Amino acid sequence: MNEHANPQNLSARADELEEKMMHELGEHIATKSVLFRMADGKIEMESGPALRAANPDKYFLMGADPRLPAMPKKPTLIDFFKNRFASLNHLLQSATHALKGGHSEKVVLACLLHDIGVASFIRCDHGYWGAQMIEPYVDEEVSWAVRAHQALRFFPDRSVGYEYPQMYIDNFGADYKPEPYIVRDYERAKNHKYYMTSRLICVNDIYSFDPNAKVDLDDFVDIVGRNFKQPKEGLGFDNTPSSHMWRTLMWPTRFL
Ligand SMILES: [Fe+2]
Ligand SMILES: [Fe+2]
């Protein structure tokens, strides 16, 4: 019988896996966020006292999660690229396209960072999340462009050959209409001085899904060095409005 037909089996295997992962943590208990559980249709929080009662000899995890790649004491953006960002290829391909197209370093950096919201945190409103993460460290042109790409990609600009992506019709349906706040942000962005920087993210974005393209993070280390202010304390240990976001990425399962 197909095991997927039996939800009992699946949930037993999930429990087993959870148990195994718990053991990999040694003497620590890792919990899951409410947001994580919502994906399974549950609005609930793990009970601290119940977990401690079930694991009387363990403390809650209050630092690095041993299941994840270790981060250095003073992490840089490149360390997050290597150890915390998924879908690196998409970002690197997009930035490579911009580089080959002869665009400015700000445009290349914007392309390199445009989807870090989705590559690290969450899909919903990823342009806004990504912009907030980088805002204290980059020129405002770069963070503005990352934020606005969220809205601009839903609207064509024939002056640069950007059409509404066929992929969105395939993914969201032909009758999908962006929400009013997206339309509003697009209207605001249209006449902004950095409009074209953000538009160039969209232009370099749609051509960036070739699984065979050869890309290398090393090609961008110098551009990052020149255009992303690395805090001397390490990214996340400085005191900016987004430091906590980087710390959360570093220690996503910390109890508090
Ligand atoms: Fe995006
Ligand atoms: Fe993208």
Long-range CB pairs of 160-168, under 8 A, 24+ apart, other chains included: 160/196, 160/199, 160/200, 160/203, 161/203, 162/199, 162/202, 162/203, 162/206, 165/206, 167/206
Q: Enter the tokens of residue 188.
A: 């605001």
Question: Minimum-distance ligand to the CA of 124?
Answer: 1
Total residue count of the chain as it appears in this document? 256
Global confidence as pTM? 0.89
Provide φ and ψ at 26, rounded to 5°. Answer: 65, -125
CA of 66 to the centre of ligand 1 (A): 30
Cα of first residue to Cα of last residue in the chain, in angstroms, is 43
- pLDDT reported for residue 25: 72
**Positive or negative torsion for Cα 244, 250, 253, 255:** negative
Ligand nearest the Cα of residue 117 is 1
- Mean pLDDT of successive 10-residue segments in the chain (256 residues)? 52 66 73 88 89 90 94 98 93 94 98 97 95 98 98 97 93 96 98 98 83 88 98 98 98 94
38 C-alpha to ligand 1 centroid (Å): 23
Q: Let me know: does 186 contact 154? Beta carbons within 8 Å.
A: yes
Q: How far is the CA of 150 from the centre of ligand 1 (A)?
A: 6
Name the residue among 218, 216, 234 with its Cα closest to residue 77. Answer: 234
Read off the tokens for 221.
């280390």
pLDDT given at position 32: 87
Looking at residue 115, its amino acid is D
> 254 CA distance to ligand 2 centroid (A)?
29
Write down the pLDDT at residue 164: 94
Distance CA 94, CA 32 (A): 33
Q: Tell how far the Cα of 148 is from the centroid of ligand 2, in angstroms.
A: 12
pLDDT for 4? 47
Contacts of 122 (CB under 8 A, 6+ apart): 35, 129
